[in-house]
Amino acid sequence: MRRPRFRTQAAALAAVALVGGGLVFAGGRADAATTAYEAESATITAGVVESNHAGYLGSGFVNTDNAVGSAVQWSPQAVAGSATLRFRFANGTTVNRPMRITVNGTDVSGAVTFAGTGAWTTWQEATVTATLRAGTNTVLATATTANGGPNLDRLTVVDGATTPPPTGVTPVAQNGQLRVCGVKLCNRYGQPIQLRGMSTHGLQWYPQCVNDASLDALAGDWGADHVRLSMYVQEGGYETNPRLFTDRMHTLIEQVSARGMYVIVDWHQLTPGDPNANLAMAKTFFTEIAQRHGSKPNILYDVANEPNETPWSRIKAYHEAIIPVVRAADPDAVILLGTHGWASLGVSDGGSETDIINNPVNATNIMYTFHFYAGSHGTEYLNTLSRAADRIPVFVTEFGTQTASGDGANNFTRSQQYLDLMAQKKISWTNWNYSDDSRSGAVFTPGTCPNGPYAGTSRLKPAGVWVRDHIRTPADNFPSS
CATH of the domain at 94: 2.60.120.260
Query: Per the domain annotation, does 237 fall within a domain?
Result: yes
Q: What CATH code is carried by the domain that includes residue 447? A: 3.20.20.80
As a whole number of angstroms, the distance between CA 42 and CA 83 comes to 19
Same domain, 125 and 201: no
Measured at the CA of 339, the angle between CA 335 and CA 340, to 5 degrees, comes to: 160
Question: Contact at 8 Å (CB) between 347 and 356?
Answer: no
Residues in CB range of 291: below 8 A, 6 or more apart: 329
As a whole number of angstroms, the distance between CA 382 and CA 372 comes to 9
pLDDT given at position 33 = 63
Q: Residue 357: pLDDT band by 50, 70, 90 thresholds?
A: very high
Which of 135, 159, 183 lies at the terminal end of a domain, its last residue?
Answer: 159
As a whole number of angstroms, the distance between CA 86 and CA 63 comes to 18
Whether the ω angle into residue 192 lies within 30 degrees of 0, i.e. cis, is: no
Cα distances from 234 to residues 10, 241, 305, 354, 431, in angstroms, run: 38, 10, 12, 30, 22
Pairing of the two strands 135-136 and 77-78: antiparallel
Same domain, 227 and 363: yes
Is the whole model's pTM more than 0.85, yes or no?
A: no
Query: Per the domain annotation, does 74 fall within a domain?
Result: yes
As a whole number of angstroms, the distance between CA 390 and CA 446 comes to 40
Number of domains comprising the chain: 2
Same domain, 154 and 175: no
Query: Per the domain annotation, does 28 fall within a domain?
Result: no
Q: Is the pLDDT of residue 3 over 80?
A: no
The average pLDDT across 448-466 equals 96
pLDDT higher at 2 or 468:
468
Concatenated DSSP letters of 247-310: HHHHHHHHHHHHTT-EEEEEEE--SSS-GGGGHHHHHHHHHHHHHHHTT-TTEEEE--S---SS
Question: Contact at 8 Å (CB) between 1 and 371?
Answer: yes
As a whole number of angstroms, the distance between CA 193 and CA 257 comes to 19
Query: Per the domain annotation, does 16 fall within a domain?
Result: no
Same domain, 187 and 300: yes
Nearest-CA neighbor of 142 among 64, 57, 206? 64
As a whole number of angstroms, the distance between CA 379 and CA 259 comes to 37
Residues in CB range of 195: below 8 A, 6 or more apart: 171, 185, 225, 226, 262, 428, 429
Reduced to 3 states (helix: H, G, I; strand: E, B; else coil), residue 420 is: helix
The average pLDDT across 139-146 equals 94
Same domain, 145 and 243: no
Task: Give the whole-number percent of the chain exceeding pLDDT 90.
Answer: 76
- Packed helices 379-389 and 412-425: angle between N→C axes, nearest 10 degrees: 10
As a whole number of angstroms, the distance between CA 347 and CA 314 comes to 17
Range of the domain at 267: 171-472
Same domain, 105 and 194: no
As a whole number of angstroms, the distance between CA 177 and CA 463 comes to 31
Query: Per the domain annotation, does 352 fall within a domain?
Result: yes
As a whole number of angstroms, the distance between CA 218 and CA 449 comes to 14
| Number of C-beta neighbours around residue 208 at 10 A | 13
Q: Is the pLDDT of residue 5 over 50?
A: no
Across the chain, mean pLDDT equals 89
pLDDT in tens, 151-162: 999 998 877 533
Which of 159, 181, 202 lies at the terminal end of a domain, its last residue?
Answer: 159
Query: Per the domain annotation, does 337 fall within a domain?
Result: yes
Helix (H) or strand (E) run with residue 443 in it: none
Q: Residue 370: pLDDT band by 50, 70, 90 thresholds?
A: very high
Question: Contact at 8 Å (CB) between 365 and 372?
Answer: no
The average pLDDT across 443-467 equals 96
Same domain, 94 and 194: no
Same domain, 376 and 262: yes
Handedness of CA 410, 235, 247, 324 (dihedral sign): positive
Same domain, 155 and 193: no
Taking phi over 0 as left and psi of -120 to 50 as alpha, with beta for the rest, 299 belongs to: beta
Same domain, 201 and 127: no
pLDDT in tens, 17-57: 222 223 222 233 333 467 889 999 999 999 999 999 988 88
pLDDT given at position 58 = 87
Query: Per the domain annotation, does 109 fall within a domain?
Result: yes
Q: Report the range of poorest mean pLDDT among 18-32, 90-104, 393-407, 421-435.
A: 18-32
pLDDT given at position 94 = 85
Q: Residue 2: pLDDT band by 50, 70, 90 thresholds?
A: very low
Which of 109, 132, 159 lies at the terminal end of a domain, its last residue?
Answer: 159
Same domain, 199 and 135: no
Query: Per the domain annotation, does 201 fall within a domain?
Result: yes
Helix (H) or strand (E) run with residue 464 in it: helix 462-472
Residues noted as catalytic? 306, 398
Same domain, 357 and 433: yes
Cα distances from 267 to residues 233, 397, 430, in angstroms, run: 7, 12, 15
The average pLDDT across 134-150 equals 93
